[in-house]
């Protein structure tokens, strides 16, 4: 049966590259979650939009589920194929197609890495400002599927803000051209925005037109040691009111501990419970002096106990490594991840409640906090004790996530700020979206994909 299906697909699209060796099924069937055992039917690596359309038509005819696959750096199981799905990997559709200097847009295929987009924009004297640690391996298609955020959202917003147009292959195999790079387009439903963040459940993005912008003036990076949680948002206010920020990130001493164990350089002689990394425009002496003034002000008020400002690109990179390197430094500890958000105004109260909840519920675990606190986005990584079995660990973490979701619901927050719902958080979707809203989401999905073949089981069942 399996072989028949694959042979049939091969006949339908003779040039389509197909893989089915056990090592390939394993490699392409998982993402960074590592929680599910990969078990795809096979892997298709289309090179053209026509081939993606042929795959969709074949899938519809034979009722085969499809899972889109980019860099598989996702943290929510959105690209996991554990149920005989055909994985559609976009790794061969990874080219830049067009740069338009007047429109300031870059048109790319979905498999292109975020870092390659950064480089391409730079070659034209512009930037694509969405950025985060997985830049070298994540793909633009995956960024669109999760409306990825990252470290510069505070200044530039999420992926959504930078998508001028999308081409989408639907479950039926139709090709839709959504928004066509227009700035102004008041012509009804903007399906482009429905597709962004839909985790591949409404169709597969096969081409994206990205907006670019001017590079910011030259910047500097400051690292602060912050003695108390209550001071974090005070430091944020002080920085935001005097400086033009392009990032404001925080992490705890536990996060620093793991990054240092992974080879980063210790920034201060004394340890501190919290740290902030901030990047800001520092093109002239006025701006540089403003940064020093902010530091003085925070020091005097007791909101920071120490600080360091980068004097070179190498120093800026070393300071960034303390934040950017956290996820990688935790990976060996098999962390259970939460990625939550509240309105920025709610952050101080929310952080206090989270601290009480997590220290009460996880007394025996190493709990690592960090994230984009200036956007109201907190990452919580609970590390698995070596002696605890996977299932027990997961059960304990899921129990606490229910409590966390309740707290989020009281604040109108989100159970997934930027990683997506995927398989990991679908049980908690109702903490973030109302029942009527979820019913509408399901109905929309059914209109786009009546057979439920596009990345099924992700977002909701």
CB 45 to ligand 2HG: min, Å:
27
Q: What are the structure tokens assigned to 363, written together?
A: 């007394």
Q: What whole-number distance in Å separates Cα of residue 37 and Cα of residue 43? A: 15
What are the C-alpha distances in Å from 37 to residues 28, 69, 110, 208, 387? Answer: 11, 16, 25, 31, 21
CB 320 to ligand 2HG: min, Å:
11
* Nearer Cβ to ligand 2HG (201/327): 327
CB 52 to ligand 2HG: min, Å:
28
| Near ligand 2HG by CB under 6 A: residue from 68, 111, 129, 133 | 133
* Nearer Cβ to ligand 2HG (246/327): 327
* Nearer Cβ to ligand 2HG (58/132): 132
* Nearer Cβ to ligand 2HG (280/336): 336
* Nearer Cβ to ligand 2HG (46/371): 371
Read out DSSP for 97-138?
EEEETTTTEEEE-TTSBHHHHHHHHHHTT-B---B-GGGGT-
Name residues contacting ligand 2HG, limited to 298-327 (CB under 6 A).
Answer: 326-327
Ordered strands of the 245-252 beta sheet: 306-309, 219-226, 274-281, 245-252, 366-372, 377-383, 336-341
Q: Which residue is nearest to ligand 2HG (CB)?
A: 327
72 binds ligand 2HG (CB under 6 A): no
Q: What whole-number distance in Å separates Cα of residue 143 and Cα of residue 147? A: 6
Q: What whole-number distance in Å separates Cα of residue 179 and Cα of residue 182? A: 6
Q: What whole-number distance in Å separates Cα of residue 254 and Cα of residue 120? A: 37
CB 195 to ligand 2HG: min, Å:
21
Contact between residue 322 and residue 223 where contact means Cβ atoms under 8 Å apart: yes
By CB under 6 A, the count of residues binding ligand 2HG is: 9
Selection from 367, 370, 368, 373 nearest residue 341 by Cα:
373
Name residues contacting ligand 2HG, limited to 370-409 (CB under 6 A).
Answer: 371, 379, 381
| Near ligand 2HG by CB under 6 A: residue from 30, 337, 426, 458 | 337
* Nearer Cβ to ligand 2HG (126/196): 196
CB 459 to ligand 2HG: min, Å:
19
CA dihedral sign, ordered 265, 271, 272, 274: positive
* Nearer Cβ to ligand 2HG (203/335): 335
φ, ψ for residue 173, nearest 5 deg: 95, 5
Q: Which residues bind ligand 2HG (CB under 6 A)?
A: 132-133, 326-327, 337, 339, 371, 379, 381
């Amino acid at each position: 049966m399996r072989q028949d299906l694959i042979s049939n697909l091969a006949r339908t699209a003779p040039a389509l590259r197909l893989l089915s060796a056990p090592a390939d099924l394993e490699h392409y069937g998982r993402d960074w979650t590592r929680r599910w055992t990969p078990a795809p039917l096979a892997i298709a690596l289309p090179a053209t939009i026509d081939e993606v359309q042929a795959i969709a038509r074949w899938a519809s005819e034979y009722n085969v589920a499809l899972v889109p696959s980019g860099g598989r750096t996702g943290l929510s199981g959105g690209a996991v194929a554990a149920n005989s799905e055909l994985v559609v990997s976009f790794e061969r559709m990874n080219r830049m197609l067009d740069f338009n200097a007047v429109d300031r847009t870059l048109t790319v295929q979905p498999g292109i890495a975020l870092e390659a987009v950064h480089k391409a924009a730079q070659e034209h004297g512009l930037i694509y400002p969405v950025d985060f640690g997985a830049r070298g391996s994540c793909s633009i298609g995956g960024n669109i599927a999760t409306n990825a955020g990252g470290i510069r959202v505070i200044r530039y917003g999420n992926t959504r803000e930078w998508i001028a147009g999308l081409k989408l292959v639907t479950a039926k195999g139709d090709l839709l051209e959504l928004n066509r790079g227009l700035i102004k387009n008041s012509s009804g439903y903007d399906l482009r925005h429905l597709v962004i963040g839909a985790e591949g459940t409404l169709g597969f993005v096969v081409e994206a037109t990205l907006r670019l912008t001017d590079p910011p003036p030259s910047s500097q990076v400051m690292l602060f040691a912050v003695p108390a949680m209550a001071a974090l948002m005070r430091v944020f206010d002080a920085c935001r009111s005097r400086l033009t920020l392009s990032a404001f990130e925080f992490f705890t001493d536990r996060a620093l501990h793991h990054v240092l164990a992974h080879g980063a350089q210790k920034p201060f002689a004394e340890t501190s419970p919290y740290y902030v990394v901030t990047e800001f425009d520092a093109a002239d002496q006025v701006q540089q002096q403003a940064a020093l003034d902010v530091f003085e002000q925070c020091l005097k008020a007791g909101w920071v106990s120490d600080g360091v400002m980068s004097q070179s690109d190498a120093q800026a990179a070393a300071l960034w490594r303390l934040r950017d390197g956290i996820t990688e430094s935790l990976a060996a500890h098999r962390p259970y991840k939460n990625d939550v958000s509240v309105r920025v105004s709610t952050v101080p109260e929310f952080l206090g409640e989270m601290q009480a909840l997590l220290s009460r519920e996880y007394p025996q675990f190493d709990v690592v906090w960090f994230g984009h606190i200036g956007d109201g986005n907190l990452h919580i990584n609970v590390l698995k004790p070596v002696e605890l079995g996977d299932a027990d660990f997961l059960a304990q973490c899921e129990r606490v996530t229910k409590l966390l979701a309740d707290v989020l619901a009281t604040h109108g927050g989100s159970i997934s700020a930027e990683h997506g719902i995927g398989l990991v958080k679908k049980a908690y979707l109702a903490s973030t979206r109302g029942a009527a809203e979820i019913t509408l989401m399901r109905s929309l999905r059914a209109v786009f994909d009546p057979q439920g073949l596009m990345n099924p089981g992700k977002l909701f069942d």
